[in-house]
Copies of this chain bind each other. A is one copy, B any other.
């Protein structure tokens, strides 16, 4: 099997082929092909078990719920659904978003909500609104690959802040702020995913939320609280969002991509009043208005279907998949550290520090398993021996198979390193061979 993983390819190569090369804006240099993107092409082959992407299990959403909603919309509000709408979003949907938000303890007015083309667009607009080239954005280490991409595209200086199994470390945040401020940098905001972190799979504890909020308040730093997974919890709900106790210092980002379906591209921001006004203007400039059709279908779904029960269904699906992945990791790779998420889509796996997950990826795809290399989630080259494993999309059987294949790949990589390092630090390498041998691949 020939496999080309094209994550080396960036559009900045091939200068001589682009007559407009010298015309691009400075910020265009920040646009490069991410590991995740390159993987989509490779990992979408049916024979590959992809533990790489973040695609929700839309098969768990009964399609007749969608069909019913969209037919009602066309019957009752067709001329509105087909037309341009408000740049801020359909008021009816914004009201429903407040109901969803109430489940997380967030209260607000429909005026505070801005509907966006997925919460990714909200992230883009917030960054456009606040970031001058060289401004600092604080973000967890690791952080969401799509956020890093947006921040780079506006030439932000991304400063990672350490996290542990309890999420962002407040002392590390204090240190980063002090260091950047004393270096004369302008810190524009902290970007954080407090619940079931992508990619780290950890959750910020309640007491740390208070502490982080307190630090940001006293330092005058805006918090971007990105919470696409908050309702996808397993044992019980995560601590209340920071936005539930702080109106003026937090922009909260939400999404229907995980609780309904990403194909409609509907997310939202809840922002302090003055920021919200500017966000709407930025949104109108970018796309005029979000899709009226998409917004009305989701409104109708939220009005007529038992969406809370559907979220419960999703929780069950993802929890089973997480448990399967966890069991397989414990069985096949017991010596490797992995996180144990209480919700969301991802587990973060740490390999021995002499392994490079990006370099290992072509071998993995050859063994018909894909993951996302850790470096995708760092702006500073970190994460070389880490990887993100997604349990959201593959079935439990595929997940077990995928982890078995991954174990083969990791052991093979270690064998290879032993061969080439016969006179090198064998001690370190040998010590890692305590990984359980996986059973033979069964397919």
A residues near B (Cβ < 8 Å) are: 11, 14, 17-21, 23-28, 31-33, 37, 40, 53-56, 58-59, 61, 63, 66-67, 70-71, 74, 78-87, 117-118, 120-121, 124, 128-132, 135, 146, 149-150, 153-154, 188, 222, 248, 257, 261-265, 272-275, 277-278, 281-282, 284-294
Contacts and interface: CB of A to CB of B under 8 A. Distances in A.
A409 to B, nearest CB: 26
A70 B121 CA distance: 25
Contacts of A28: 129-130, 278, 282
A124 B285 contact: yes
- State the copy count for this chain: 2
Given A11-B281, A70-B70, A285-B153, A24 B129 contact: yes
A58 B79 contact: yes
A74 B71 CA distance: 11
A67 B58 contact: no
Q: What 4 pairs across the A-B complex have the smallest Cβ distances? A: A18-B274, A82-B261, A82-B263, A31-B281
A372 B333 CA distance: 66
Nearest to A85: B263
Main secondary structure of the interface of A (DSSP, over half): helix
Contacts of A23: 130, 188, 222
B132 A26 contact: yes
Given A130-B23, A281-B32, A287 B124 contact: yes
Contacts of A222: 20, 23
Interface centre among A17, A20, A70, A281 (most CB of B within 10 A): A20
A121 B290 contact: no
A168 to B, nearest CB: 21
Nearest to A282: B31
A425 B132 CA distance: 50
A61 B293 CA distance: 15
Nearest to A393: B83
Nearest to A63: B78
18 contacts: A11-B274, A11-B281, A17-B273, A18-B274, A19-B274, A20-B274, A21-B274, A23-B130, A24-B130, A25-B128, A25-B132, A40-B86, A58-B79, A71-B71, A153-B285, A264-B293, A265-B287, A265-B291
Nearest to A222: B20
Contacts of A129: 24-25, 28, 31
Contact of A150 (B85, B120, B150, B285): B285
B128 A27 contact: yes
A67 B74 contact: yes
A377 B19 CA distance: 31
A287 B120 contact: yes
